[in-house]
Amino acid sequence: MIKQYAKNPKTTDISVIECSLRFAHGGFASSKSVMTQMIYKLTPRALWQVAESKGVFDGAPIDHADGYIHFSTAEQVRETADKHFAGQDNLLLVAVRADRLGQALKFEVSRGGALFPHLYALLPLDAVEWVKPLPLGSDGKHIFPELTA
């Protein structure tokens, strides 16, 4: 079960992300750009269909175990797919506006010391910008649509 809100010593509040979230171009984000940043969730199609019927996404089993919903930035999501979803078919890529998630969204240190978005609440479907299939290419890697940072 995803907790509505939890304090974590590794948490970096969204208000201070401007000082620490590095984008692919090598610069730092302003608080405005972070607040309008797109974040991404990889999920099996069947889990998303349940979310659509409920009107809210409550996470995957790993999210339930960790107490928050895992997300990735545009710069992180391909590596996340390779590491945790390699060869999996019927995946969806869900694009979510960070500014629609409020204080429950925290950027926390994770893989390789990078800050990853974690949502300490249920994901309301009105925060979702789009959902797209993530097919496998002939090389067994997922084929991503164009992503917005």
Q: What is the pLDDT of the chain when averaged over all its residues?
A: 82
Quick check: 95 and 148 in contact, CB under 8 A? yes
11-134 is classed in which CATH architecture? Alpha-Beta Barrel (3.20)
**Structure confidence at residue 112 (pLDDT):** 86
**Structure confidence at residue 114 (pLDDT):** 87
From the list 46, 91, 94, the residue with the least C-alpha distance to 69 is: 94
C-alpha to C-alpha distance for 55 and 52, rounded to whole angstroms: 5
C-alpha to C-alpha distance for 1 and 138, rounded to whole angstroms: 36
Which pLDDT tens digit goes with each residue over 86-138?
Answer: 999 999 999 999 999 999 999 999 888 889 999 999 999 999 999 999 999 99
If one compares 52 and 18, the residue with the highest pLDDT of the two is 52
Break the chain into its structural domains and give their ranges.
11-134
The whole-number average pLDDT for the span 64-71 is 97
Place of tokens 């302003």: 30
pLDDT exceeds 60 at position 52? yes
The whole-number average pLDDT for the span 47-54 is 96
Whether pTM > 0.85 for this model: the answer is: no
Q: Find residue 96's DSSP bridge partners.
A: 39, 128
Which pLDDT tens digit goes with each residue over 92-104?
Answer: 999 999 999 999 9
